[in-house]
Amino acid sequence: MTITNGRDLEGMKLAGKVVARTLEALKTAVEPGITPAELDAMAGQVFAQYGAFSAPRAEYAAPVNVFISVNDDIVHGLPTLRPLAAGDVVSIDVTPNVGGYVADAAVTVAVPPVSPVANRLIACAEAAFGEAMKVARAGRPLHGIGRAIETEVARRGFTLLRELQGHGVGRAIHEKPDVPNFYHPALKKLLHAGLVIAVEPMVSSGRNWRTKTLRDGWTISTADGSTAAHFEHTIMVTAGAPLILTA
């Protein structure tokens, strides 16, 4: 989606607000004993307050309000009835449709006490996103985002999960362009003002960048069983610093 008028901008800001409120509610609720299924139900309650609904459910028949991925699960985790326990690393991916506008963001939190490696892994995903924001400017090449993410993840000593990537978003969950998390020299197309994209580094503590899809048909996990972290926001490209719509 490219935002060209005030109506679309306000629509995307409202969708982003619902994402932010949902993420904040679920982050606060993460504690030992709560189940991902309970967190999913809480997300549905926040959605209902704003007249929102799950975009993955509407577009892909996903059986969830939000995706919740634990430990070696990276993305698209189906909320389970297994209570969270101390040390679990939990990624929450929220994508509502609000009045025809779709925004997408994710955060990874850990159930304390947390291992030093898990803390560094979560910080790595967020820092990689921050580096991408420095180059997500109108007139700059799309591949600069992936270069910035890849460089930061390598600098911190973690593994980039290269099979997963960001994407355009706005009227649907997945729109053009694809936004790889690594440097892809062929992606020379220049970013333009108003372009809405989801930038989402996904990293693991292992050494294998391959992934696997579980038998539920949804959950994508690390191939080597290592812990994963995911950080994502929906942004609008401008000539300067991008507008983070889901902050």
Query: Domain spanning 6-239 has what CATH number?
Result: 3.90.230.10
Confidence of residue 170 (pLDDT cuts 50, 70, 90): very high
Nearest alpha-carbon partner for 144 in 195, 177, 200, 183: 183
Report how far apart, in Å, the C-alpha atoms of 151 and of each of 40, 154, 169, 186, 227 are: 34, 5, 25, 18, 20
Q: Is the pTM of this model over 0.75?
A: yes
Give the pLDDT of residue 9.
Answer: 98
Give the pLDDT of residue 118.
Answer: 97
Give the pLDDT of residue 106.
Answer: 98
| Average pLDDT score over residue span 79-98 | 98
Give the pLDDT of residue 177.
Answer: 97
Confidence of residue 153 (pLDDT cuts 50, 70, 90): very high
CB-based contact 199:129 (threshold 8 Å):
yes
| Average pLDDT score over residue span 78-83 | 97
Q: Residue ranges for the binding site for substrate?
A: 76, 174
Residues 6+ apart with CB under 8 A from 151: 131
Q: Residue ranges for the binding site for a divalent metal cation?
A: 93, 104, 167, 200, 232
Confidence of residue 243 (pLDDT cuts 50, 70, 90): very high
Can you say whether the dihedral through the CA atoms of 169, 50, 69, 233 is positive or negative?
A: positive
Give the pLDDT of residue 127.
Answer: 98
Give the pLDDT of residue 166.
Answer: 98
Give the pLDDT of residue 34.
Answer: 98
Q: How far apart are the first and last CA of the chain?
A: 19
Beta strands 53-54; 196-199: pairing state: unpaired
Give the pLDDT of residue 205.
Answer: 98
Q: Residue ranges for the binding site?
A: 76, 93, 104, 167, 174, 200, 232
Question: In the chain, what are the domain boundaries?
Answer: 6-239
Beta strands 96-98; 101-102: pairing state: antiparallel
